């Protein structure tokens, strides 16, 4: 996915990856809190996630002003994320579209369990994954529905194999 979106000029930023990196930083005051949320499949408080995203975006654009298109993976994940984004980014960023990878729950779990054989991630286990699906249904799906009403959702059938999945044309 990383290479594909780069072709369109997007920098791929993963909210989860930024949080995992922050958790590893021994100087971070949020490390323990982030670990607890991730293991429980819960959404980390928005102030932390937004500050990491903004820091990364500012750094990339500071180095090259033309690198101003971002694909933010795993965000916004709930109403709190959405409000935090709107508050912090109002007038600074446009959301052109939301890419929704539509996939059956059990296929997602099987893929993550397979990934768990080598990922070392504390949430690649059935218990955390089932909690994550509950979090998705309760908190993330309503945000996707909101973007759907605005006509901003591009849906991808992600249950197929890597070779069969087709990505819509992007702006």
List interacting residues with ligand AMP (CB under 6 A): 14-16, 19, 37-38, 41-44, 49, 74-75, 77, 81, 123, 132
Q: Which is nearer to ligand AMP, 44 or 99 (CB)?
A: 44
**Tokens 């293991």 sit on residue:** 39
Residue 116 CA to residue 132 CA, distance in Å, equals 15
Least distance (Å) between residue 38 CB and ligand AMP: 4
Q: Which is nearer to ligand AMP, 41 or 97 (CB)?
A: 41
Q: Which is nearer to ligand AMP, 139 or 159 (CB)?
A: 139
Residue 116 CA to residue 45 CA, distance in Å, equals 25
Least distance (Å) between residue 115 CB and ligand AMP: 10
Least distance (Å) between residue 65 CB and ligand AMP: 26
Q: Is the peptide bond before 76 cis (omega within 30 degrees of 0)?
A: yes
The residue at minimum Cβ distance from ligand AMP is: 16
Q: With left for phi above 0 and alpha for psi between -120 and 50, is residue 21 left, alpha or beta? A: alpha
- Could you tell me if 4 and 61 are in contact, meaning their C-beta atoms sit under 8 angstroms apart? no
φ, ψ for residue 107, nearest 5 deg: -65, -45
Q: Which is nearer to ligand AMP, 19 or 71 (CB)?
A: 19
Classified as helix, coil or strand, 164 is coil
Neighbours of 1 (CB within 10 A): 14
Least distance (Å) between residue 69 CB and ligand AMP: 19
Q: Which is nearer to ligand AMP, 56 or 123 (CB)?
A: 123
Least distance (Å) between residue 43 CB and ligand AMP: 4
């Amino acid at each position: 996915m990383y290479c594909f979106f780069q072709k369109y000029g997007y920098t791929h930023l993963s909210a989860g990856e930024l949080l995992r990196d922050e958790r590893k930083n021994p100087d971070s005051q949020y490390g323990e809190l982030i670990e607890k949320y991730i293991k429980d499949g819960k959404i980390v408080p928005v102030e932390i996630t937004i500050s990491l995203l903004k820091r990364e975006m500012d750094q990339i654009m500071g180095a090259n002003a033309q690198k101003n298109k971002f694909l933010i993976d795993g965000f916004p994940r709930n109403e709190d994320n959405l409000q935090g984004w709107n508050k912090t980014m109002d007038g600074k960023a446009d959301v052109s579209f939301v890419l929704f990878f539509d996939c059956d729950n059990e296929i997602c779990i099987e893929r993550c369990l397979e990934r768990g054989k080598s990922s070392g991630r504390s949430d690649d286990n059935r218990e955390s994954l089932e909690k994550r699906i509950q979090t998705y249904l309760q908190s993330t799906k309503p945000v996707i529905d909101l973007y759907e009403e605005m006509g901003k959702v591009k849906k991808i059938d992600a249950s197929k194999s890597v070779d069969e999945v087709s990505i819509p044309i992007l702006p």
